[in-house]
Amino acid sequence: AQSVAQPEDQVNVAEGNPLTVKCTYSVSGNPYLFWYVQYPNRGLQFLLKYITGDNLVKGSYGFEAEFNKSQTSFHLKKPSALVSDSALYFCAVSPRAGANNLFFGTGTRLTVIP
């Protein structure tokens, strides 16, 4: 079975500081990992994905994520947080290549404090 854990319900960070939103996963076989962001009254927006290759994946809005196979983690990072980054962030895993469904974590609410 596949699952995703986001251990922090809430992350607060000061504007300009680096941010990390944590995600760990469990899946048989090679993982396909994703980050989505959800702003109020708007749909989930795709940020980035890891399929294969370089463990450091760069995505939209200056975000990046690091795949760590030994720790089964896929943490989302940004070097310098903006107030506009405040939103709900979801990590997701696809159980296999070409799978049609995503399994999402419960989300982490990021608040960037001015």
Partner 1 sequence: DTGVSQDPRHKITKRGQNVTFRCDPISEHNRLYWYRQTLGQGPEFLTYFQNEAQLEKSRLLSDRFSAERPKGSFSTLEIQRTEQGDSAMYLCASSLIVNEQYFGPGTRLTVT
Q: Does 10 bind partner 1 (CB under 8 A)?
A: no
User: Which residue is listed with tokens 């200056």?
Assistant: 62
CB 42 within 8 A of CB 87: no
Q: Does 63 bind partner 1 (CB under 8 A)?
A: no
Q: Does 41 bind partner 1 (CB under 8 A)?
A: yes
Q: Does 76 bind partner 1 (CB under 8 A)?
A: no
- Interface residue with partner 1, options 46, 61, 84, 113 (CB under 8 A): 46
**What's the Cα-to-Cα distance from 57 to each of 10, 14, 75, 78, rounded to whole Å?**
23, 24, 10, 12
Q: Does 4 bind partner 1 (CB under 8 A)?
A: yes
CB 33 within 8 A of CB 24: no
Q: Which is nearer to partner 1, 28 or 100 (CB)?
A: 100
- Interface residue with partner 1, options 47, 90, 110, 112 (CB under 8 A): 90
CB 29 within 8 A of CB 1: no
φ, ψ for residue 49, nearest 5 deg: -145, 155
Enumerate binding residues for partner 1 (CB under 8 A): 4, 32, 34, 36, 41-46, 49, 51, 90, 92, 94, 98-107
